[in-house]
Structure 1
Amino acid sequence: MIEMVAWYSMQFQFNSSEPIYRQVAEQIEDAIAAGGFEEGQQIPSTTEISKEFHINPATVLKGMNIVVAKNLIEKRRGLGMFVTNGAHQRIVSEKKNLFFENFVVSLVKEARSLDISESELLELIKRGYDK
């Protein structure tokens, strides 16, 4: 049995509008990004995750297949699921791109609407880092 240490903080929102299988995929990705699972390391099986968190195994598998499709984990026949080489960096890059799209673009748009110059905005960001 795989050690469940990386899953200690995993939480599912069963009342959320986000489907559980997507939450499973996000939790696996977050565990890889945080270093809970290293490249080449085996992750818990569908059965282990479903038993631990009382989730239907088909739902867990659907979430895992999303992560497989992103080439972050791979199935090794008869052995289980393993984190692929480069998975951590791919996740971090994706998260940086999402940060840019979801926060930076709107921040710059709002700054422009308030007539905040680029240099003023950079100064405000520096102040934020100092806090």
Structure 2
Amino acid sequence: MDDFHTGQPIFVQIRQRLTEMILRGSVGEGEALPSVRQIAADLSVNPLTVTKAFEALVDIGVVEKRRGLGMFVKTGARAELLAHEREKFLKEDWPRIAAQIKALNLDVNMLLSTTAQGAEQ
């Protein structure tokens, strides 16, 4: 689980993992997320790095800190997070991906059929 890549800061990668847990429903609304200490130990990272990942989720309003209890997923967090991640993808990732598709002269229909085939397997 601690297979980090160098393209992004570790706290961003941890934030993404926590985001995926919420979006997939591994941790439901109102439920506690794993503790900072637990994540830091599991991933062999500094607890401050994990705290920074949590703070990013607190900043967008999907996680709340309950003093003495830990971090909890807020009600409505999944829908809020989905909207946030979609907007972020369209603003940050999609322009780069679209430019690469164009530069490589790839056919969009071929890409979609390849994606659909991969999803069936």
Pair in the same fold by TM > 0.5: yes
2:22 aligned partner: 32
TM-score, length of structure 2 as denominator length = 0.72
1:49 to 36, 39, 58: 39
The total of aligned residue pairs comes to 109
Equivalent AA in structure 1 for residue 98 of structure 2: S
Give the whole-Å Cα distance in 2 for the aligned partners of 1:83 and 1:12: 25
Q: State the secondary structure of the residue aligned to 1:64.
A: helix
Larger Rg: 1
What secondary structure is seen at the aligned counterpart in 1 of 2:75?
coil
- Output the TM-score relative to the length of structure 1: 0.67
Matched letter for residue 69 of structure 1: D
| 1:112-123 aligned within 5 A | none
Percent of pairs with identical residues? 28
In the other structure, the counterpart of 1:7 is none
* Partner Cα separation in structure 1 for residue 75 and residue 25 of structure 2: 13
RMSD: 2.8
Post-superposition offset of 1:97: 3.1
- Structure 1 unaligned segments of length 5 or more: list them: 1-9, 115-120
- Measured in 2, the distance between the counterparts of 1:99 and 1:59 equals 23
